[in-house]
A and B are shown apart, each in its own frame.
Chain A
Amino acid sequence: MIIEAPRIKKAFLAKIETLLGSNGYSTKTIDRFNYTRDSNFRSTIKAYYNKTEAAPDLIVWPKNTEQVQKLVKLAIRHRVPIVPFGGGSGVSGGTIAVKGGMIIDMKRMHRILKLDTKNLLVTAQAGMLGKILEDELQRQGYTLGHFPSSILCASLGGYLAARSAGQQSSRYGKIEDMVREMEVVTGRGEIVNTRDVSNTSGMDLNQIFVGSEGTLCLFTTATLKIYPLPETQNFQSVRFKNMRTAIEAIRRIMQLGIKPSVVRLYDKLDSLLLLSTKSPSRKKRDDLTDILSKLIKYQSLKTALAMPQFLSALVHAVSTGCVVIFVFEGHKRIVKEEERLVMEISKNMGGETLGPDPAKHWMENRYRVSYEASPLFYHGLFTDTIEVAGTWDVLPVLYKEMIKSLSQHALIMAHLSHVYMDGGSFYFTFVAPLTGSKKTEILYDKIWDKAMKLVQKLGGVISHHHGIGRLKMKHMATEWGNGAEIYLKLKHYYDPYGIMNPGKLYSADKKIMEKAA
């Protein structure tokens, strides 16, 4: 394992020391090693084989916006690349310092600045971790309504950078729907406050920066909508014969204007996993490994995964259907009526009621699935998730084609977990054996490449909430088409020196930038 020595000019480092003090930055090898990756699984595969990604030259921990601004100005003067870092839970390689440079870790900016209970708004610093923010709000009787599976380790700035979606986005929206105002430090070294603009008519400037993944600015604070904690929560679960019917039922439900807070449709394999883990004790083995390790007992899972299509067929043969779980929340009377309507539609569509238990069980264990990666890798398997989105007409085909195409390479399962009036997001999970460093990376890239191209061919979009980062960057030209020019113009303006998170989101190399200028 090699971490190259940092390449930083003494003069630059001296300025950093003056600005932040000796405990405000680090060039130590061990510290830099721990900033070589986020939580993207390509890097995890590398870690499995003792390989590292590119290391930053230094890491800094600013405490306030003024320090962030000064850091950006210093980086401009010395042409040092900047990589913003939040919780490191990103799964698209967004925090990898591909060109070295300075990681700006925002976690020392972790405070709630204002809780405005009259107008239901919260203002917080961008380095605050999701769980800490939500816990604090809940203690005061409110919720952000934003519950990504990574709430335990993701930051507010990371949410905004990657356009995060929580498990209850069908009711509360995604982070870009929640944000009202922001303070950002752009790659020009200016502090921009979107407030004045978004409060007047005209363009919503928040939306220029949200989703920019550190390539235009650093988020320093944000004001977001909050909600009073719901009076009640009801749970229901329904089983449908197949995905197509279930998708259609959900479309009808959403287009009636009903807003369940959770709608999750699991395909046959995912349903099997969902239902197999009823009332587990805390120490019990993890769901996915549990099932897979059962398979290992009968035939080596690795051998089975050499024939993933066969394994998928087997699972589909033993499974009895696709489960949808619903959670309704809010005012008691509204919730009751929503539940009644949903169950009526489901029944009319041939759904079989499973009662509240599977949904309740899911709610109690809503973050458990995030812990699955460790045992899988430990048992010699790698995994990843591909979250894509599409309109209702696209979704059934997208599901079918993705399963067909990817099950040639890996065991694949899916759930539809964020649904709206016009469509939703499918979340595909794949598992395959680790078969050597190079071979595995090639397989990993192949699966992703195939998936992204297929989604684009079928008219879907390649990301709903995990962002683009390094992972999906090469597909962005197709994704944006000539809309990319808007981004490039913004990039040229807000990051004129090309220092903001290079190698992420969209290829903005010199030639392209010159053209955009």
Chain B
Amino acid sequence: MLDQFEKQLEYCTYCPRLCQSACPVLATEGNEAHAPWGIMQTLNMVRRGEIPFDEEIAALSYQCLTCKACTEQCHHGNEIPPVLHEVRKLAVKHDLAPPEITGFLEKFHRHNNPFSKDLLQKLKKIVPAKYFQKDTPVIYFASCTTIAQCPEVIRDTFELFEKLKIDFVGIYPESIQCCGYPLITGGLEDEFVELAEINFNTFKQYKTIITGSPACVYTLRETYKEYALGLGSRVVSINEFLEPYLHNINYQIKKSIRTKIIYHDPCYSCRYLHEVDRPRELIGQVTGIQPVEFNHHGEKTACSGQGGCYSIMNKDVSDQICKVRLEEVYEKNIQTIITQCPSCIHKFRKNSNHLIIKDLVSYLNDCIEGTKD
């Protein structure tokens, strides 16, 4: 078991814990067992057959945000999340997964999303009907978390499309509005594959699938490929899609955009998709403003606390991690955070009272008045 990760597990076992200072979970909890080194050396003992694979080990594999801050600091480039994803899958297969995870699955099953809600119905209330009727090869996949937790982003996206005279994008009209990321990060592989197959068969009818959630981009682009459901270059991040329009179209800028903003890099944007410069360039392109940077930004970003399915099992620690990130915003006396991940947006909003937390697209939409022609 886990032999495919033998080298990573062995390296961590012999390492003097050189990525400890990068891990937000360790920084908050202080528990060596939940640090990258601890998780990996424990799993190595499971691999070697020294420790039984039981519920405790299964639970251990969920003590990680999958943020890859450790990988960023590891000279060997060791990746912890793929190992943990594998353990989670095994945990589910062997009926060892924590009750929170099985409970999550029950919730998911009701409407094929983690929120137990008919998100298509909700989506229909967010965007005008005309976008549903479009017979178009280009669609916008809103993502379950965005629909459920920050629906204004979808409205703003289509408003921005209109301002930029982009009239050929429809909205993904199916009843399943989730790419399956919450399932696969929770180790629910069979359910993920079932869902992904259904999605794949509808997605492949489109030429371009635009999405604003970095975890969805990664899942559709990379994880689907691992299950021979590759959508290849069909999957485009909203930033990639908007970039040429924002470059070439002559639009007017609102006058009141001089607000100081700080940009938070979601882990999936910068460490999985390696999109560090593009969001900053788009902000610069539209507003001429350079966002204030967090002390840890770009590939050295710090997780909002909402990474992976960590918060399902560890709500308090996850909130504490978020508060540490927010403390810096207060210290820097900034009122507005711009970011790009619906989970980060939701997390920040829940843990702050007066801050304005916006998706990048909403921000750009706010700044742009309309085209000049």
Q: Which A residues have a C-beta under 8 Å from some C-beta of B?
A: 1, 23, 26, 28-31, 33-35, 39, 44, 47-48, 50, 59, 61, 87-89, 91, 105-108, 110, 127, 129-132, 135-136, 139, 150, 152-153, 282-283, 286, 367-368, 370-371, 373-378
Contact = CB atoms under 8 A, between A and B. Distances in A.
B12 interface: yes
B33 A33 contact: yes
Contacts of B51: 1, 30, 33
Highest count of chain B CB atoms <10 Å: which of A30, A110, A127, A152:
A30
Contact of B18 (A91, A136, A371, A378): A371
Contact of B20 (A106, A152, A375, A377): A152
Given A28-B56, A129-B21, A107 B30 contact: yes
A110 B75 CA distance: 25
Task: Tell me if B's interface is mostly helix, strand, loop or mixed.
Answer: helix
A6 B295 CA distance: 42
B16 A373 contact: yes
B75 A282 contact: yes
Contacts of B77: 282-283
Contacts of B255: none
Contacts of A153: 16-21
Interface string B18-59: 111110001101111101001001100100101100001100
13 contacts: A1-B50, A29-B56, A30-B60, A39-B16, A47-B13, A50-B45, A89-B17, A107-B30, A129-B21, A282-B77, A367-B18, A374-B15, A374-B76
Interface in B64-94: 73-77
Contacts of A31: 31-33
B10 interface: yes
Given A34-B38, A87-B20, A152-B22, 19 more contacts: A31-B31, A31-B33, A34-B33, A39-B17, A44-B13, A47-B41, A61-B29, A61-B31, A89-B17, A110-B30, A132-B27, A135-B295, A136-B295, A282-B77, A286-B76, A367-B18, A371-B15, A374-B12, A377-B10
A375 B11 contact: yes
Nearest to A2: B50
B29 A34 contact: no
A87 B17 contact: yes
B14 interface: yes
Nearest to A45: B14
Contacts of A26: 31, 33
The 6 residue pairs across chains A and B that have the minimum distance between CB atoms = A107-B30, A39-B16, A377-B14, A34-B33, A1-B50, A374-B11
Nearest to B73: A152
B345 to A, nearest CB: 26
Given A50-B45, A50-B50, A153-B20, A139 B56 contact: no
B147 to A, nearest CB: 34
Contacts of B16: 39, 89, 91, 150, 153, 370, 373
A132 B21 contact: yes
A34 B41 contact: yes
A129 to B, nearest CB: 4
Contact of B48 (A50, A373, A374, A378): A50
Best-surrounded residue of B12, B13, B30, B73 (most CB of chain A within 10 A): B30
A372 to B, nearest CB: 9
Contacts of B73: 152
A141 to B, nearest CB: 14
Contacts of A150: 16
A33 B41 CA distance: 10
B150 to A, nearest CB: 30
Interface in B287-312: 295
Interface of B: 7, 10-22, 26-27, 29-33, 35, 38, 41-42, 45, 48, 50-51, 56-57, 60, 73-77, 295, 316
A416 to B, nearest CB: 22
B103 to A, nearest CB: 21
Given A50-B50, A152-B73, A286-B75, A30 B17 contact: no
A515 to B, nearest CB: 37
Contact of A30 (B19, B21, B22, B33): B33
Contacts of B32: 31, 34-35, 88, 105
Nearest to B33: A34
Nearest to A383: B14
B27 A30 contact: no
Nearest to A38: B16
B30 A105 contact: yes
Given A33-B42, A374-B76, A131 B30 contact: no
A129 B32 CA distance: 13
A117 to B, nearest CB: 16
A378 B27 contact: no
Name the residue among B11, B18, B57, B316 with the largest chain A CB count within 10 angstroms.
Answer: B18
Contact of A371 (B27, B35, B76): B76
A368 B57 CA distance: 31
A371 B15 CA distance: 7
Contacts of A29: 56
A445 to B, nearest CB: 19
A139 B19 CA distance: 20
Given A59-B31, A107-B30, A152-B21, A378 B10 contact: yes
Nearest to B10: A378
Contacts of B316: 23
Contacts of B76: 286, 371, 374-375
A82 B360 CA distance: 51
Contact of B42 (A34, A89, A130, A377): A34
Contacts of A377: 10, 13-14
A370 B41 CA distance: 18
Contacts of B74: 371
Nearest to B27: A110
B320 to A, nearest CB: 10
B14 A48 contact: yes
Contacts of A1: 45, 50-51
A39 B17 CA distance: 8
Contact of B17 (A28, A88, A108): A88
B13 to A, nearest CB: 6
Contact of A373 (B15, B30, B31, B50): B15
A105 B12 contact: no
B48 A61 contact: no
Contacts of A373: 14-16
Contacts of A105: 30-32
Contacts of A152: 18-22, 73
A131 B7 contact: no
Nearest to B77: A283
Given A59-B31, A153-B21, A368 B41 contact: no
